């Protein structure tokens, strides 16, 4: 939905066909309003009489065009209190047409921070550029009334040759922040600019420089300067809580923190391990570094969610790190979000919701918090709210495959299968080589009983992931669903053998046995999942277990985790 256009004491809502003066609605007929709308689309430009005829007086309109146009212009000028002799809003260009000459207030409602360029010629310095991008997003995200695009979506334009208007259209934003960082002779030089992307017009730019040893303070000063200029575009609606995210730190500690976030964002098992090392080094250098503790908690939580480590092993570590972060700085949205997921893992829905609320109060643009909160809302039976939160997450991170696919799964869980299939298809289009989208699509198609197509998607996910979990387990499940019992059991047996040497969640193994009709084995592995508190138990009731839901043991399990059938 487009925001109303403001000019002087007037406000025109082009979608609603509504014109107001100082908040009071004015009576204006359809044709004069449509005339105003056309002029407002191209402020300062001539709109010819021929164009107005084509846009408003179509071939099917049997009226005297000249008389109709003059009548509409007169009525519009009366409504606006304007005159033909001394116009302040609508100027007549004799025998040619009309031009809107008023000043349109163009408030910013959305912004994207494009990846800061590393001009140092050294890829080892990339974490500084990425860290500055994250710092700017973090500061701007706390502005109420401003939509700030999340990191995942903007990073898709790293090194892109697309023009700013094209990028802005893909991200659906009014403005962008872009810049560069360069290190030379023990100096850090940063250039930054704020641009009206709709018209490719620079609104502000500045150059910052300091000793490399003072880089953390420099980045905060820059982030606050950018935030103030964005705030000026928002007017009185902006409320910015300036809390210092990085105080005076040893450069080595700050650099370790940035490297930790750099590896954490890669979302692989090896990179998570590197991130832990970096955050722990930052803490060793700066024991009161709250953000490093929050980063450590983020890693542990995602290791559990991705099924890389046993939940009962890493969630207690995540809880200790998140709590320590909040002891040092209780305004860290990341730490509150982690703590919410930890409470959700403990099946304490009330405490989880309190922490999600706090995280989103501190950072209304936190797409991950919106997505995880949507999961909690689904668990507690608030399906419409869950879908609204998932849509909000996607709005803030429109090019994120996981968030888009997750929305598709939300639709599946509420039995809106057409929307689920459509949205998940859009997720796959974002990155056809990412197994996650194919995995979710396999589950959606299975819920629709399109078993052949579900198997094809499951096999695509397994192939793209080199048969990693949970994708290979989905192949076993799909094989069982189409009656290939021996091949399904072969995969299940392989996963059981793997579990002897490394962590394997019992949840997908239970799903394979449920599809095979081996209820006792399915409940045996669900019980193991319960004992390890696997996060995926929150997906129950899951279509994958539809064939065992009538068993009394299923209702008893749901009761133990605070769910309902």
Q: pLDDT digit string (tens) for 30-63?
A: 889 999 999 988 888 899 988 888 888 765 555 5
Tokens of 238: 């902006």
Q: How many CB atoms lie within 10 A of CB 49?
A: 16
Question: Are the C-beta atoms of residues 46 and 55 closer than 8 Å to each other?
Answer: no
Q: Tell me the mean pLDDT in the region 98-110.
A: 82
Residues 6+ away with beta carbon under 8 Å from 493? none
The CATH class, in words, for 5-105 is mainly alpha
**Residue 331 in this model has a pLDDT that exceeds 50:** yes
Whole-number percent of the chain with pLDDT over 70? 95
Question: Which whole-number Å values give the CA distances from 39 to 34, 106, 135, 237, 400, in the listed order?
Answer: 9, 16, 40, 28, 37
Q: What residues contact 158, with CB distance under 8 A and at least 6 apart?
A: 115
With a cut of 90, say whether residue 520 has pLDDT above it.
Answer: yes
Max avg pLDDT among 5-19, 127-141, 203-217, 305-319: 305-319
- Taking alpha carbons only, the member of 141, 120, 142, 116 closest to residue 131 is 116
Decide which of 211 and 515 is more confident: 515
DSSP 331-355: T-HHHHHHHHHHHHHTT-HHHHHHH
Domain boundaries, the chain: 5-105, 110-248, 469-565
- Write the DSSP string, 429-474: HH-TT-HHHHHHHHHHHHHTT-HHHHHHHHHHHHHHTTS-TTHHHH
Distance between CA atoms of residues 532 and 519, nearest Å: 20
pLDDT at 16 over 90: no
Q: Largest alpha-carbon pair distance within the chain?
A: 89
What is the reported pLDDT for 318? 97
pLDDT at 505: 93
- The pLDDT of 324-337, averaged and rounded, is 95
CATH topology identical between 5-105 and 110-248 = no
Asked if pLDDT for residue 460 goes beyond 70, the answer is yes
Q: Residue 177: is its pLDDT beyond 60?
A: yes
- Provide the phi-psi class of 166: left if phi over 0, else alpha when psi is between -120 and 50, else beta: alpha
Is the confidence at residue 107, as pLDDT, over 80?
no
Instruction: Give tens-digit pLDDT for 137-159.
Output: 888 888 888 899 998 899 899 88
Place of tokens 């550029």: 129
What's the CATH fold of domain 110-248?
Rossmann fold (3.40.50)
Q: Which residues contact 280 (CB under 8 A, 6 or more apart)?
A: 296
Query: Where do the H-state alpha helices sit in 235-268?
Result: 251-264
- The pTM score is 0.78
pLDDT at 247 over 70: no
């Amino acid at each position: 939905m487009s925001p109303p256009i403001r000019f002087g004491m007037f406000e025109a809502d082009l979608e609603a066909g509504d014109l107001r003066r100082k908040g009071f609605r004015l009576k204006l007929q359809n044709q004069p309003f449509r005339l105003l709308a056309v002029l407002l689309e191209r402020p300062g430009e001539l709109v010819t009489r021929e164009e107005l005829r084509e846009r408003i007086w179509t071939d099917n309109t049997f009226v005297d065009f000249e008389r109709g146009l003059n009548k509409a212009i007169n009525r519009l000028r009366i409504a606006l209190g304007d005159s033909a002799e001394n116009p302040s809003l609508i100027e007549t260009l004799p025998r040619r047409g009309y031009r809107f000459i008023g000043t349109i207030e163009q408030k910013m409602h959305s912004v994207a921070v494009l990846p800061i360029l590393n001009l140092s010629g050294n890829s080892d310095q990339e974490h500084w550029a990425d860290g500055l991008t994250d710092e700017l997003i973090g500061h701007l995200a706390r502005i109420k009334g401003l939509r700030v695009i999340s990191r995942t979506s903007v990073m898709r334009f790293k090194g892109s040759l697309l023009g700013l208007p094209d990028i802005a259209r893909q991200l659906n934003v009014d403005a962008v922040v872009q810049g560069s960082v360069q290190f030379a002779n023990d100096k850090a030089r940063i250039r930054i600019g704020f641009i009206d992307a709709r018209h490719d017009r620079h609104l502000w730019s500045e150059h910052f420089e300091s000793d490399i040893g003072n880089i953390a303070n420099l980045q905060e000063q820059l982030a606050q300067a950018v935030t103030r200029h964005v705030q000026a575009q928002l007017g009185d609606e902006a409320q910015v809580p300036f809390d210092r995210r990085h105080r005076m730190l040893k450069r080595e500690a700050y650099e370790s923190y940035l490297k930790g976030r750099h590896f954490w964002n890669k979302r692989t098992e090896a990179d998570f391990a590197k991130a832990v090392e970096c955050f722990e080094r930052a803490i060793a250098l700066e024991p009161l570094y709250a953000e490093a503790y929050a980063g450590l908690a983020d890693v542990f939580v995602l290791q559990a969610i991705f099924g890389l480590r046993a939940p009962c092993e890493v969630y207690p570590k995540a809880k200790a790190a998140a709590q320590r972060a909040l002891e040092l700085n209780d305004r860290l949205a990341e730490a509150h979000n982690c703590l919410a997921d930890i409470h959700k893992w403990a099946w304490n829905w009330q405490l989880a919701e309190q922490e999600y609320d706090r995280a989103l109060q501190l950072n209304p643009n936190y797409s991950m918090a919106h997505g995880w909160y949507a999961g909690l809302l689904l668990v507690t039976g608030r399906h419409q709210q869950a879908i609204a939160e998932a849509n909000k997450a996607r709005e803030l991170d429109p090019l994120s495959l996981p968030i888009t696919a997750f929305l598709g799964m939300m639709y599946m869980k509420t039995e809106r299968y057409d929307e689920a299939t459509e949205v998940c298809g859009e997720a796959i289009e974002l990155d056809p080589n990412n197994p996650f989208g194919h995995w979710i699509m396999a589950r959606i198609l299975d819920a629709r009983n399109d078993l052949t197509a579900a198997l094809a998607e499951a096999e695509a996910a397994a192939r793209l992931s080199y048969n990693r979990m949970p994708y290979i387990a989905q192949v076993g499940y799909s094989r069982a669903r189409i009656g290939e019992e021996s091949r399904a059991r072969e995969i299940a047996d392989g996963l059981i053998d793997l579990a002897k040497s490394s962590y394997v969640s019992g949840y997908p193994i239970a799903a394979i046995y449920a599809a095979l009709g081996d209820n006792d084995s399915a409940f045996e592995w669900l019980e193991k999942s319960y004992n390890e508190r696997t996060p995926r138990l929150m997906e129950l009731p899951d279509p994958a277990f539809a064939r065992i839901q009538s068993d009394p043991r299923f209702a008893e399990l749901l009761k133990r985790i605070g769910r309902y059938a």
